[in-house]
Amino acid sequence: MTPALRRELVGEFAGTFILIVFGTAAVAQMVVSGGDAGDWATLTWGWVAGLIMGIYVAGRLGAGHLNPAVSVAMAAYRRFPWRHVLPYTAAQTLGAFLAALVTRGVYGSGITKVDPGLTSASQTIFSTLPNHGVTTAFFDQVVGTALLVFVLFALLATLQGAAGQLLPLMVGLLLLGIGFAWGTNAGYAINPARDFGPRLASWITGYDTAWVTPDGTPYWWLPIVAPVLGALIGGGLYVLLVERLEVPAAADTPAPAPTPESAEAHANPDPRHPADVVVPDAREEVTR
């Protein structure tokens, strides 16, 4: 493992930890208060804040995916080394797992009070569940992650140089839109590490049904498979519909303004005349 990769993995771990500790705590606050100290909007903004801050933290170490599905898409379409996908995924999942344990510990007494049996009523603090069936949840996760990667690629192409400092804010706004538009079907996980790490943390701390839906249907696999599929679809559509049709940078650059010297020597002072027509000097006309 190279020093650069080790540094990036620490960034992925730390950034994903920030994302999950903000997000799960925002949900926990709503659940343990019975909605008195939070609602759908506050938990969505909690996830957005966690994502923005997590990207800034990870970005200090040259990383910032915070999502295995994004890492897969970057490998498929952006020359990110495939050999780094698995280490990135492990670092992201570990960060998510430990962050969920922190939330579980801090909100432990409140969770026990509102849900002594540790059922799906409070499991949603840590992992997602379908509200309208497994099939709907699968397509929801595919669509949500496709949107995430499609727009993310556009942001990466647009926010270059100093404007790159705005990237975390724009990605946070993107997550806000996805959460408000696609949240109720399956909790908009759109991130395998975000779901699996906390799901594992909830299971080892007493949630015996963490891997299934309330009716016993195995569900743990869906927030892993569907987001990866959606990321590949979203990245592929961006390459097909936008990237291959982009105006080349050279053609898109405005022509430089003529200098006085070039205007005297070559440029035509009257745009009403074709460039290859010489406009006579007014002084010559007078002398004639």
Query: Which stretches of the chain score pLDDT less than 70?
Result: 248-288
Tell me: the pLDDT tens digits for 76-117? 999 999 999 999 999 999 999 999 999 999 999 999 999 999
How many angstroms separate the CA atoms of 61 and 244, rounded? 31
Confidence at residue 257, expressed as pLDDT on a 0 to 100 scale: 58
> Tokens standing for 229?
């599929």
Three-state secondary structure call for residue 216: coil
Determine the length of the chain.
288
Confidence at residue 71, expressed as pLDDT on a 0 to 100 scale: 98
Identify the DSSP state of 212: B
Q: Model-level pTM?
A: 0.84
209-215: which pairs have CB atoms within 8 A and are 24 or more residues apart?
A: 209/119, 209/120, 209/123, 210/123, 210/126, 210/127, 213/120, 213/129, 213/130, 213/134, 214/119, 214/120, 214/129
Residue reference for tokens 């195995």: 218
Confidence at residue 282, expressed as pLDDT on a 0 to 100 scale: 43
